Structure 1
């Protein structure tokens, strides 16, 4: 006799990371998924791609409203075993940083967490997609004396956050995650809670049909270099960290399989440092790109970690217990999918 499938409510189902989470959940044959989308068109497109009877959708148009998830949870709450909250406001076309970025992030987290407490009596675990931005102030990224781990928090002040939209976004990620932790204590919840904090997320789109001229923020870094002119200088504007989307998706699912082990944990999803030259070096190993993109100064970034803040995520790796995908594989898989869709393979 087979074990009944458990139900996961996943917000922001059309997102880059979210689609990979759905794929891994469905592939495991252990879960049914209820995904929230902003429109029927988006839901229908995703349903067609996955083509699974274990995937259904609800429509939540504006997650920045505190009651945004109430109707969905009133309807399905008794069925929900787990919540994975990936939806988050992410845009820089704003006029008021506090009103357009920070407040919606806080309200969005508040709304879905309170709906989970109020309407999902059988909930076992709540996973929130946070960010490395909630852990580190990007102004300190090149301070090698700074050591960061799973307990680190972005120390940027509210006044600093109001200086520009990028600072505002980073601060909003901290506020969104802190809201979840504060509510879990304030409401004395009985279910487990985990935050997943990824750095730049590379890797292939879940479906080839999602490969468009401009990709999501992280993958666009790779996409830009796939299409760059060979005479273009490879600058040093990017010094950051990567992680593969498939590892990030798996990190959202492991807490559902062992709630006690992951309760109260923050998972710092970092696969290592990279710079623009690191990506160019890898792309030049792809025959279809050789001679079509710049070479730059080969291996210039090999020691880039020594120029950056030190990230120690050994606790995360020990908890998860799997090897992270290498920079070489994630960049190549991202690029090869783009070339395939463009008919260059």
Structure 2
């Protein structure tokens, strides 16, 4: 990407301290863009700059910060002002304890609409929304064919609140663009489980499983199937979705390829990360044991609907339309482990 033509263009990245967002900021700065990042508190600026340094970039005055929250109108107009593009990566954190699912659904949906309104009013060219695979794969009957961008989560009683919130927020975004978006363009990226190099202590929940395996805190792997993707490739797909004319009005699944079972993930680690190999279990926990544990543990209960379900996904559209070329699942897993060990997060 040509640096000189980008140097006068400002890109707003929402939720700037998050795992995917920091990698997006890294790649935007490397491509020559100016970046403005929203954070809930300006106290996080030094932390974000430290993570960027860990990624090899001294941002200087090419990066600025503004305090804005998805749940309030304050500063969104100022945040979008003067921006050519917006990467809306911010998302309400999944709550483990909630009285009603609306506690997750309403902030997610309202937050997306706040950002889209501010972007439209500021004359932004295109917003790239970070949705999730949870807006694609839930609520379906078991299937062997890979899920594609044509699939949408079927909202029902068994769909967990977080996945429901991502689905309804993305639906609201497409509705907004269709009815009141004006000239604003929208592209959506739906990442699967995001792995890859951590730059600090803020990272995706997919990485906690690898962390716990390396720390010897897991006695066996639930029978859960998932696709994975490296965070560097997720950021790369965001930039392609932002810049490529073919990406306007499209959604893209960010996945490295074939889904794998958790026990296969554990085997990749055990075979390649010698110093922690003896801690890593490569046995599967029977579903019945998980169901009994789920009676007492709400975190385990939340994953019970996924037991034994194949969740294969296709990256064919992003590869064909945008020339995207992601790293393999194995590379993403090992890059995660390497960074957790290097940053001494694994003791």
TM range (shorter): 0.7 to 0.9
Match 1:270 to one of 243, 252, 255: 255
* 1:34 CA displacement: 0.3
2:29 is the counterpart of 1:20: no
Is the Cα–Cα contact under 8 Å of residues 139 and 155 in structure 2 kept in the other structure?
no
1:192–1:262 contact (8 Å) kept in structure 2: no
Q: Which residue of 2 aligns with 1:294?
A: 281
- Equivalent positions of 1:185-204 (< 5 A) are 185-204=178-197
Classify 1:99/1:283 alpha carbon distance in 2 versus 1 (closer, same or farther; 3 Å). same
Structure 2, unaligned stretches of length 5 or more? Answer: 53-57, 285-307
CA distance in 1, matches of 2:97, 2:324: 39
- 8 A Cα contact 2:228 2:259, kept in partner: yes
CA RMSD, 1 decimal: 2.5
Deviation of 1:144 (Å)? 2.8
The residue that corresponds to 1:39 in the other structure is 41
C-alpha deviations, 1:34-69, integer Å up to 9, x for none?
A: 000011211232234443121000001x3123x244
The answer to whether 1:154 aligns with 2:164 is no
Aligned to 1:301: none
1:192/1:139 Cα in 2 relative to 1: closer, same or farther (>3 Å)?
Answer: closer
Mapped to 2, the partners of 1:319 and 1:32 lie a distance apart of 26
Q: Which moved more, 1:166-175 or 1:262-271?
A: 166-175
> What are the residue-to-residue correspondences of 1:149-228 with 2, within 5 Å?
149-157=148-156, 160=157, 167-205=160-198, 207=199, 210-211=200-201, 216-228=204-216
Residue of structure 1 in register with 2:125 after alignment: 124
Q: 1:47 to 1:294 in 2, by over 3 A?
A: closer
Q: Does 1:316 align with 2:318?
A: yes
Q: Which of 229, 238, 250 is 1:243 aligned to?
A: 229
- Is the 1:200–1:242 contact (alpha carbons within 8 Å) kept by the matching residues of 2? yes
The match for 1:261 among 236, 241, 246 is 246
Match of 1:303 in 2: none
Does the aligned pair in 1 maintain the 2:38–2:66 contact within 8 Å?
yes
CA contact 1:47–1:56 (8 Å) conserved in 2: no
Corresponding residue for 2:67? Answer: 59
Q: SS at 1:196's partner residue?
A: strand
Q: Is contact 1:83–1:127 with CA below 8 Å preserved after alignment?
A: yes
C-alpha change, 1:344 and 1:221, in structure 2 (3 Å) is closer
TM value normalised by structure 1: 0.83
Please report how far the alpha carbon of residue 70 of structure 1 lies from its aligned counterpart in structure 2 after TM superposition: 3.3
1:148 and 1:312 in contact (8 A); partners too? yes
Q: CA deviation at 1:280?
A: 1.5
Q: Give CA deviations for 1:73-92 in whole Å, capped at 9, x if unaligned.
A: 4xx51x21001101111222
**What is the count of residue pairs matched by the alignment?**
313
What is the CA–CA distance in structure 2 between the aligned matches of 1:107 and 1:343, rounded to whole Å? Answer: 35
What is the CA–CA distance in structure 1 between the aligned matches of 2:312 and 2:118, rounded to whole Å?
38
Q: Verify the 8 A CA contact 1:125 1:255 in the aligned structure 2.
A: no
Q: Output the CA distance in 1 between the equivalents of 2:130 and 2:4.
A: 31
| Map of 2:104 onto structure 1 | 101
* CA–CA separation in structure 2 for the residues paired with 1:36 and 1:7: 13
For 1:68 and 1:174, how far apart are their aligned partners in 2?
Answer: 25
Compared CA separation, residues 343 and 226, structure 1 to 2 (3 A)? closer
Please give the residue correspondences for 1:82-101 in structure 2 after superposition, counting only pairs within 5 Å: 82-101=85-104
